[in-house]
Amino acid sequence: MSGSIHVQPIAGALGAELSGVDLSEPLSDAQFSEIHHAFLTHQVIFFRDQSALTPDKQKAFAQRFGTLNVHPYVSGMPGHPELLEIIKEPHDKLNFGGGWHSDMSFQETPALGSVLYALEVPPYGGDTLFASQAAAYEALSDGMKTLLEGLNAIHSARREYSARGASAQDRQSMSAKTAEDAPEFEHPVVRTHPDTGRKGLYVNPAFTLRFSGMTRQESRPLLSFLFEHSRDERFTCRFRWTEHAVAFWDNRCCWHYALNDYPGYRRHMRRATINGDRPV
Ligand code: SIN
């Protein structure tokens, strides 16, 4: 039904909770366009009580927005290589996604979006934070915007997914492959969103190694400033998970961070990642 989906923003810079739609049912064109509009406007959208979202239905929903990614370093679910099971067992110390990042920025064509579904949530904690990189860019001075305009940065999975990298070690409960020889890809530091035309910062602490044409040491001061600036509270929202909730975020313009504050409890999520374009 057209106009049937209610949209409730949860913070100033980004994030909105949507209600009035069952994502396990095929979306009508009108529903798709309302959800797409909310996604582009709010950068991350949330749905609660999606208890019928089987793996096939989660994939079908995500596929309305693009083709699905198969992660090169983390094994997918048996029978569903495009779905990642993100599980933290009660005894696990580290968690997947426990640092600010944008999914798959280490690929030549990074992710458009990710659809994360909660199967089991701890009684407290385990929230996910999001940060609008469009708002972070817009808050910079004109001088800094001009400086960044011509810069590119090098992204790679090497640091996170090498044998000693955080993302490989955090995976006792997931099958992770290591990435000692992961390739490097260059992306603009400021990218223009292909659908909205809005500019946003496109570097992140997990996968951005340095600026193109500079050493890591030379890059560090400005990258450190951008990483600090980009997670300022003004640009963030926080989602409190409930069982069968869904978050759908736009990796082209926001970062996310899975909090690790629920020792002794299990958290089980399932993610579909949608392929995107080469950033420009
Ligand atoms: C992720 O980084 O995709 C995981 C986010 C989460 O588990 O909250």
Q: Is residue 141 part of a domain?
A: yes
Query: How many Cβ atoms sit within 10 Å of the Cβ of residue 25?
Result: 12
Per-residue confidence of the chain (280 residues) as pLDDT tens digits? 447 999 999 999 999 999 999 999 999 999 999 999 999 999 999 999 999 999 999 999 999 999 999 999 999 999 999 999 999 999 999 999 999 999 999 999 999 999 999 999 999 999 999 999 999 999 999 999 999 999 999 999 988 887 766 665 555 455 666 777 889 999 999 999 999 999 999 999 999 999 999 999 999 999 999 999 999 999 999 999 999 999 999 999 999 999 999 999 999 999 999 999 999 9
Q: What is the CATH number of the domain that holds 96?
A: 3.60.130.10
Q: 105 in ligand 1 pocket by Cβ < 6 Å? A: no
Q: Is residue 31 part of a domain?
A: no
AA letter at 49: D
Pocket test for ligand 1, best of 46, 69, 71, 96 (most atoms within 8 A of CB): 96
Q: Is residue 164 part of a domain?
A: yes
Task: Give, using CA atoms, the residue closest to atom 8 of ligand 1.
Answer: 258
Instruction: Please tell me whether the overall predicted TM-score, pTM, comes out greater than 0.85 for this model.
Output: yes
| Catalytic (active-site) positions | 101, 103, 256, 271
pLDDT at 279: 98
pLDDT at 201: 98
Q: Is residue 183 part of a domain?
A: yes
Q: Is residue 32 part of a domain?
A: no
pLDDT at 3: 72
Alpha helices in 170-209 (DSSP H): none
Parallel, antiparallel or unpaired: strands 83-88 and 267-275: antiparallel
For residue 271, the Cα-to-chain-centroid distance in whole angstroms is 10
What separation in Å is there between the alpha carbon of 145 and the centre of ligand 1?
30
AA letter at 176: A
Q: Is residue 227 part of a domain?
A: yes
Q: Is residue 84 part of a domain?
A: yes
Q: Is residue 224 part of a domain?
A: yes
Ramachandran assignment for 131, one of left (phi > 0), alpha (psi -120 to 50 degrees), beta (any other): beta
Domain that holds residue 268: 66-275
Number of structural domains (the chain) is: 1
- Assign 275 to helix, strand or coil: strand
Q: Would you call 187 exposed, middle or buried from its count of C-beta atoms within 10 A (0-12, 13-18, 19+)?
A: buried
Tokens of 101: 């990042």
pLDDT at 170: 58
Give the CA angle between residues 44, 50, 53 to the nearest 5°.
100
